[in-house]
Amino acid sequence: MKITIQKREPDKNGHRALRLVYYHGSKTGQNGSRAQKRSYEPLNLFLYDKPRLPAEREHNKTVNQKAEAIRAKRLLEIESSRHGLDDRTKLSASFFDYFDQLAGKHETDLPDLGRGPGSDQSRMPV
């Protein structure tokens, strides 16, 4: 799989939006033509199309570095999952927070078994 950074056409303000393009390969259609299989991920970053000020040039430089870092991270995630390696960043979540979240969800999903405050079974020991 190949991942590239695509710069979109500039909008009316002169901003070029960035997005990642995932190339999954190609497939052959019924008529023999090849169609590329791609998916896109918007990065919510923009570049100035024609930077005039030093601040705009610096902005473009830092945004390009951020976009390249995101691309490298996505590529690392894909390659590590392809080879069956664990992603250490996903393992940093707290198990106890996860357990409390699941326990709270299941408490609200439990059916009322007739042991509410007005039922006769509420006086019986469980």
Could you tell me if residue 32 is inside a domain?
Answer: yes
Nearest to 5 by CA among 65, 55, 56: 65
Question: Which one-letter amino acid corresponds to residue 113?
Answer: L
Please list the alpha-helical segments (H only) found in the chain: 54-82, 95-109
Could you tell me if residue 117 is inside a domain?
Answer: no
pLDDT tens readout for residues 20-35: 999 988 888 888 889 8
Contacts 24+ apart (CB under 8 A), 33-39: none
Task: Report pTM.
Answer: 0.63
The upper half-sphere exposure of residue 61, i.e. CA atoms within 13 Å in the direction of its Cβ, equals: 6
Which parts of the chain register pLDDT below 70? 86-91, 105-126
User: Residue 112: its pLDDT value, please?
Assistant: 57
Could you tell me if residue 125 is inside a domain?
Answer: no
User: Residue 96: its pLDDT value, please?
Assistant: 81
CB atoms within 10 A of CB 15: 14
| Residue 39 three-state SS | strand
Domain count, the chain: 1
Could you tell me if residue 20 is inside a domain?
Answer: yes
